[in-house]
Structure 1
Amino acid sequence: MAISIPPIIDLEASGFGRGSYPIEVGFATEDRVVHSFLIKPAPTWLHWSVEAELIHGISRSQLDSDGMTPREVALKMNDMLRGKTLYSDAWSFDSSWMGRLFDEAELVQRFRIETINKLLTPQQMELWTDTKQTLWSEMHIERHRAANDVQVLQETYLRVMQATTA
């Protein structure tokens, strides 16, 4: 039986609390194609956490030189994701940061973000964290970069489904 893989989204941010904003967004579509964009901070986005930078490894100067404006990212995402529902394992954070991006861009978000938990049974949710940890060890890729995180999340979903539908 073929398991359909949901589109997954992940964001990295300037920090963890009030005032933080998105600095990178990554998403993987149902066909497992991954896209990611660095986001140049808007002039009013001033919050910066050194602790967060140590986790994701993205500097503010890298965003200024390599990032796209919030409007450019929002337009691209609406074009690529219109009408889709993407799933996040950190829904409250990711949806809040996405809202901040679209507010800054002065655009309506044309796709939805839901929690991955909506797709999982309680048994599958129990397997989620351990499966994800195992994959991080196996895949040997850098954590806390949006493109890498969505790849691991899709693979986690696939493994959890295979383990519980066999």
Structure 2
Amino acid sequence: MKLICLDLEASGLGPGSYPIEVAWKSTEHECDNFFIDPGSVPGWDFWDDFAEEMHGICRAELHQSGISVTDACDRLNAKLQGQDVISDAWEFDSFWLRRLFEAADRAMMFRLIGLSEVLSPEELIQYRFVCKAQLRRHRAMADVNHILQAIHSVKYSAD
């Protein structure tokens, strides 16, 4: 079964937060990962030092290596158009994707879905157990790899 997982890192968790890093990967080994330059959007200036401590991304790195929100949306739509894309934190990731696409005045051409659409209630419990056992720095691609591994171990551990 082909799965595509997506993860975002953000400037914080509050209502003024915005996405700063995006990564996605499919079980067919297609993937992408990039920073977003918050300077490309007026008003994207909220910054939570605790969030920076969690992901380890500084604002200077975003300004230097990040792409514009327009480029980010176009890049995501070009590769993910028409696909169901899995998030293990649907509430947060959908909020940040909405902010991203609204800032770029673009329509999102893929559908973000939660784990409950691919895992049974029992598998969700197992998934949460597997994920809680691992402490790590949060970076988008590392998180995507972790999500895919955890889904695989839960779905196919009985095989």
TM-score relative to the length of structure 1: 0.89
Q: Please give the alpha-carbon distance, in whole angstroms, between the structure 2 residues aligned to 1:46 and 1:81.
A: 28
Report the AA paired with residue 152 of structure 2.
L
Report the AA paired with residue 130 of structure 2.
T
Gaps of 5+ in 1: none
Is 1:150 equivalent to 2:132 in the alignment?
Answer: no
Aligned-pair distance for 1:98? 0.3
- Residues 43-82 of structure 1 mapped to structure 2, 5 A cutoff: 43-82=42-81
Check whether the contact 1:34–1:151 (CA below 8 A) recurs between aligned residues.
no
**Structure 1 match to 2:96:** 97
Is 1:14 equivalent to 2:11 in the alignment?
Answer: yes
Q: Please give the alpha-carbon distance, in whole angstroms, between the structure 2 residues aligned to 1:23 and 1:83.
A: 24
Q: CA RMSD in A?
A: 1.4
Deviations along 1:42-63, one digit per CA (max 9) or x if unpaired, are 2320110001000000011110
Check whether the contact 1:5–1:157 (CA below 8 A) recurs between aligned residues.
no
Deviations along 1:90-114, one digit per CA (max 9) or x if unpaired, are 0010011001000111111101101
Aligned-pair distance for 1:131? 1.8
Runs of 4 or more above 2 Å deviation: none
- Indicate the percent of aligned positions where both proteins have the same amino acid: 34
Aligned-pair distance for 1:32? 2.8
Check whether the contact 1:5–1:158 (CA below 8 A) recurs between aligned residues.
no
Q: 1:27 aligns with which of 18, 24, 29?
A: 24
Aligned-pair distance for 1:5? 4.3
Check whether the contact 2:11–2:19 (CA below 8 A) recurs between aligned residues.
yes
Q: Please give the alpha-carbon distance, in whole angstroms, between the structure 1 residues aligned to 2:35 and 2:108.
A: 18
**Structure 1 match to 2:156:** 162
Gaps of 5+ in 2: none
TM-score relative to the length of structure 2: 0.93
Check whether the contact 1:40–1:69 (CA below 8 A) recurs between aligned residues.
yes
Q: Please give the alpha-carbon distance, in whole angstroms, between the structure 2 residues aligned to 1:10 and 1:43.
A: 24
Check whether the contact 1:5–1:154 (CA below 8 A) recurs between aligned residues.
no
Aligned-pair distance for 1:26? 0.6
Check whether the contact 2:80–2:109 (CA below 8 A) recurs between aligned residues.
yes
**Structure 1 match to 2:110:** 111
Aligned-pair distance for 1:147? 0.6
